[in-house]
Chain A
């Protein structure tokens, strides 16, 4: 079955440590996204990528970094500069092509819950 796989499901970060969250999709989607979810705040966009080797900052990119070396993969690194990393992180993908507006829905992985040790 096609879908999005996020790993690990739970992750713990020590002070000053960088951690990387994995996101892999086999839906042949061009666009991929990372969202952060905090209770009562909905989903906030961290980074998105519409094509391999290209990505853009979302609303809350500070303290995070991404890469898009392969169409199937869009890993997110939470750096030590992110002072409040505890949250639920969701990866999504879509068939959206660059254009004035997005018409296609996004497909989501099951998330990674990150906590501070």
Chain B
């Protein structure tokens, strides 16, 4: 069955520091992976997606993620944090048809705090 584990429910960085948010997945088939960002009291916004074309995926707002099959990981990074990056981040893996149709399976989320 598909599943996602996000390591660390809360990550704190200083402005200008590297951001690293960890995501490991379990998938019975070649996975499709997604990172979303959520600001308070809002819906989720797609940051980037991996759909097997390239292992290094670039997204919006300077974020990128690298798919590593050997490590079953899809960690999200940004070289230099900005105050506006403070939000909750969710990693998701595509479900298989016998698990939940066309839905996504989400991790529990990581809250990113950025201090000045």
Residues of A within 8 A of B (CB): 4, 6, 31, 33, 35, 40-45, 48, 50, 56, 58-59, 88, 90, 92, 94, 96-103, 105-111, 113
B41 part of interface (Cβ distance < 8 Å): yes
Q: Are B32 and A111 in contact (CB under 8 A)?
A: no
With A101-B94, A109-B43: A40-B108 Cβ-Cβ less than 8 Å:
yes
Name the residue on B nearest A100 (C-beta): B97
Q: Which residues of B contact A101 (CB under 8 A)?
A: 29, 32, 94-97
B56 part of interface (Cβ distance < 8 Å): no
Q: Which of B90, B100, B102, B103 contacts A42 (CB 8 A)?
A: B90
B51 part of interface (Cβ distance < 8 Å): yes
Minimum distance in angstroms from A6 CB to a CB of chain B:
8
Q: Are A99 and B97 in contact (CB under 8 A)?
A: yes
Interface residues as binary, B87-105 with A (CB distance below 8 Å gives 1, 0 otherwise): 0001000111100111110
30 pairs from A and B in contact (CB 8 Å cutoff): A6-B43, A31-B102, A40-B108, A42-B90, A45-B103, A48-B100, A48-B102, A50-B101, A58-B100, A58-B103, A59-B100, A90-B44, A92-B44, A96-B102, A97-B102, A98-B101, A99-B102, A100-B96, A102-B94, A102-B95, A102-B103, A102-B104, A103-B32, A105-B34, A105-B49, A106-B104, A108-B44, A108-B45, A110-B43, A113-B41
Chain B, range 26-78, C-beta contacts under 8 Å to A: 29, 32, 34, 36, 41-46, 49, 51
Q: Are B29 and A110 in contact (CB under 8 A)?
A: no
